[in-house]
Chain A
Amino acid sequence: MPVEILKEKFTGKVQEVVLGATKEEGGTRAYTVKLGGSSTLPFLQFEGEIPNRPVIALEIWDIKPDWHECFVPCYGDVWEDPVAWAKKAEEYGADIIYLRLRGADPELENSKTADDCAKLVKAVLENTGAPLIVEGPGFPDKDNEVLQAVAEAAAGENIALGVAEKDNYRSIAAACMMAKHCIIARSPLDINILKQLNLMVTEMGVPIEKIINDPLTGGLGYGIEYAYSVMERARWGALIGDKMMSLPLICLAGPEAWRAKEANAPNEEAGPGWGDQKVRGVMWEAMTAAALLQAGGDLVLMRHPEAAKLVKKQLEDLMVPNTY
């Protein structure tokens, strides 16, 4: 007697969000990326539709980053030049380029101006073909000023701007609306606030298909299980038809993984059995990303090209239909 596979029936699905715009769509991107769209839990193709593979964004900064020396072989020759760095990220197979404007931090000496940032974004767009995400320096006033200028400079390209939070979303939402970009809305591991924020952003007039959610993540060993629970619940909300909870999720796997001692500790300070840092750091990041994808991430932000490569391979394997 054949075994009957029990299938969960859901009424909702994850909202599909498109990033980037090609020439025909008024931009200059070589391709667009679709996020979300799933009508089932992650990678359960036998149960529903998973129209879009989760994607990988590679992180670049507008200034030289304070990263571990193991990044020197892959990015050391380009990280003084963000445009060259962006091109390199594309060569490493990034689906999306994620530019963090850390140089606009108002507490830095020679803090970059909004105009500097807008010019840089334009230059990155002119020299690359991947869709772009731009994150402000993380100081509300400066974020507003910088992202406004960036939004105008990138008009037509359908980039994503971040990050909007509960107490600072109006200006960013306005900038996104005006230039028809997407917005990244973040809440610190709090699903209730995330839903409220989505409501507030849509009430300002941002279309729901222009919102990406960042539930905030912890690195492997540093609270990833909280992120996992929040993401799992958000996906479940989307699947039972809770529209304000149905947005695709971005996970900051790279930045979080590389905050962990286990990723960075040199071999002489490593615990027993930790192994070589070069392998260990990459694995720490890849494992963090893999867990977050299983929790329902639609876009993982990654840092090390080797880790990104491992995750991309895994994603391709996971996207093979597992029909019964």
Chain B
Amino acid sequence: MRRLTQLGTALGLLAVAALAFAGGPLEGVTEKQATNWHAIIMFCLFVCMTMGITYWASSRTKSTADFYTAGGGITGFQNGLAIAGDYMSAATLLGLTAMVYGKGYDGYIYMLAFFAGWPIILFLMAERLRNLGKFTFSDITAYRLDQGKVRTMAAISSLVVVCFYLIAQMVGAGQLIKLLFGLEYNVAIFAVGILMMVYVTFGGMVATTWVQIIKACMLLSGGTLVMFLAFSQFGFSFQTLLEKATAVHALGPKLMYPGSLLADPVTAISLGLGLMFGTAGLPHILMRFFTVTDAKEARKSVLYASGFVAYFFNVIFIMGLCGIIIVGQNPEFFEGGVVGGKIIGGGNMVAMHLSKAVGGDMLLGFLAAVAFATILAVVSGLALAGASAISHDLYARVIKKGTASEASEIRVSKIATICLGFVAIILGILFEKQNIAFMVGLAFGVAAAANFPVLILSMYWRGLTTRGALFGGYGGLVSAVLFVLFSKSVWVDVLGNPAALFPYTQPALFAMPIAFIFAYIFSKTDSSVRAGKEIEAFEDQYVRAQTGYGAASASNH
């Protein structure tokens, strides 16, 4: 009953938010007024549906396994959709379309780098993750090492990655909603934060997964529809599309050449490493490997997820190219009606304008609702990953040393979710002016340097000891953050110093080797008794990783 009243309060809050959506014209986006209602109605439908699911899920979320991993009972196909949903954030839809629109072929290179990590995750990690882990990826790194120290390290780096990623999503949400719904930036941030708290605290992983699945279906169908309508204007001929696009684009024939974004080799390679191995170190993605019944389903999830992701990236590539002609040549979408000027709402709005151009207000409303739903779903997944790092790793294993009751662990994770929700709101407001793509890149860079090296070593290298894992993990984390801090993007652009201390913007190429070398040297030189036992314990871990015997099984539902 208490849950019902709480849910009621949350819905009430939402109604207030909806009223605010309907508020008068704001920020000179009056021409968007007519479209607002479509977006609001569709978005409210999405929220109602997901709230219904959250209510249903809350009755099924009793144990910690339910809360963190939906009881491990999600099928491979469902999980594949959910992973794709987690991976394709609003930055993907809006940011990559904008990148293709502005830089042409460079955007496509980015997409391949985002995609290429998936096969590697499948071949080298998926089944071991499922066989060794229970709720968080720290279960694996700490499997045979010092629980307290290694978990603390893994939880800290998880939280750092989650926070950077949260900033990117929250800022994106605020800007998008401000433009599309004519809502105040701060109000939009609060709406996202509060909805996320409701989904995660009441529904746990069950609700988060279903929100993710619904959103992935909406995103895939919405994107496909826009692409189809836009591409039809060129008779579905790639030749015609490119002829017209290169004819009108400022880059001309250079549009289809690798260009300015990857001007120097070091940046190109570093970015490739960061995006590829960052994927394999994102806590909210890794967590999804524990929601399926066994390694078989875990493999299937990757197959489906990577299929959806690959398909959608190609859709986005076509969308971006179509946008060059359909949006880029239409004065309606430029401030002051001057073609070639500033796009209304900023560069990230190309996908939105394209949907309006090819499908009118109805399609724009749908895509806007999809984008908002996307942000909401990704933020929920992130919050759950962050909350589990706090409650499962720090609270239950480090502070309580495994003696915490399930009820108290769930309570802590709910409190943690609410705290993270407020942290997200505050960060979203503080970083309003920050570049979203940059924050996402940073999150990937830190994930690649802080999480991935220790995780892969703990699964593959018997010689890894607690000391090595700690030095490797903290070394990767600190160096990745420092490299970014001293790079031009922060040291010069944000802090206003005259020259960058570190010449490159992408940390992965430098921070990843530091993590690996530290882990190696400090493991090799560790001759303690404890280290000897840890190396011995690898044998059993290895058999379990290979066979799945003793792996956490699905709870009965």
* B is a partner of A: no
* Chain A residues with a Cβ under 8 A of chain B: none
